Structure 1
Amino acid sequence: MNLVDSIRTIPDYPKPGILFRDITTLLGAPRAFRRAVDELVQPWAGSKIDKVAGIEARGFIVGGAVAHQLSAGFVPIRKTGKLPHETISVTYALEYGTDAIEVHRDAIAPGEQVILVDDLVATGGTAAAAVELIRSLGGTVVAACFIIDLPDLGGADKLRALDVPVRTLVSFEGH
């Protein structure tokens, strides 16, 4: 089974010229979803991973499955204002403007080993901000894992420059 074949491409979404890589078709295909999770987990099977941090929203789905496989806790990283308890946040640059993500202040304890998970890495801005959040709580980012890499946008390289190992399963050229 080829994971690429389970990912739908939607042209001109969310704006003209963009090829949106939609993993909802992969998530709906039991064998593809299982294979993706197994491949993301494989390098850390048997390792001591304390937490898996998933970036809103598709990172919750994939990250929850990865956390289950690793017998680790799950930490949601959300857009500002969505978490009910005391949080810390990081603001990061977008193509036009800024955005922010946050995590509960008590979600990660100092010294915990954390894997960051999302469906796709593009420019890496959100993932780099998530790395900053995890590290600010004293967590060690063991790796950042994504089903899809868009290498032309440089996000995986941006994370590697932060000394974060990156695992991706498939790559697509372009945006």
Structure 2
Amino acid sequence: MSSQFEIEQYIHAIPDFPEPGVVFRDLSPLFANPKALRICIDRYLERYIDWDLDAVVAIDARGFIVGSILAWELKKPLIMVRKAGKLPGECEQASYSMEYGSRTVEMQKASLKAGDNILLFDDLLATGGTVMAATTLITSLGAKVAEVAALVDLPDLGGSSKLTSAGISTFSLVAYAES
């Protein structure tokens, strides 16, 4: 693939899914194309290879796909943020609101230690609720979020600006305006 490769061709816009008025960004074609996924991973590696990171924290579920590859390539542990009730052992929980309810995510308490420097990865940054909850989990365990990385940013939904306002750096490979 050329150096002018654009991942947008592998991210499909599905209108009115999962409900009317929502444009769903389907990453399945990207994940199904090994060359396209490799190029995405290489772009992240170019950015993070020299960072002083202790772990990659990935968010359930599509964040696990790229997050686990990044952790492997960076030779760092992968720590999972999952929906409540999905992890064994003692867990820390954080809840967040959405326009149609609330959700709770959790992380095992023993997964991080004070002072750890974390790369937090999710597939898509929209309103920032899940990422802010994950950041709360990370900081409650004494660790620090070095940066939030995502494949896609939807800046019109405010998540990246919410994180920036909270002093958290973000990086994505592509951004889509929703309007």
Specify every segment of 5 or more residues in structure 2 that has no aligned partner in the other structure, as ranges.
none
1:25 equivalent to 2:43? Answer no
Q: Does residue 159 of the first structure (1) align with residue 166 of the second (2)?
A: no
Equivalent residue, structure 1, for 2:122: 118
Aligned position for 1:89:
93
1:58 to 62, 67, 81: 62
Matched with 2:139 is 135
Q: Give 5+ residue unaligned stretches, structure 1.
A: none
Q: Displacement of 1:50 after TM fit? A: 1.0
Which residue is 2:109 aligned to?
Answer: 105
With normalisation by structure 1, the TM-score equals: 0.96
- Tell whether the 8 Å contact from 1:48 to 1:113 is kept in structure 2 after alignment: yes
Cα offset for 1:97?
A: 2.1
Alignment TM-score, normalising by the size of structure 2: 0.94
Identity of aligned residues (%): 39
Instruction: Give the 3-state SS of the residue equivalent to 1:49 in structure 2.
Output: coil
From 26, 41, 47, the counterpart of 1:43: 47
Q: Which one has more relative contact order, counting CA pairs under 8 Å at least 6 apart?
A: 1
How far apart, CA to CA, are the structure 2 residues paired with 1:54 and 1:74?
7
Asked if 1:7 corresponds to 2:14, the answer is: no
Alignment partners' CA distance in 2, 1:47 and 1:2? 25
Preserved CA contact (<8 Å) 1:40 1:167? no
SS of 2:110's equivalent in the other structure is: coil
C-alpha RMSD of matched pairs (Å): 1.1
- Number of equivalences: 175
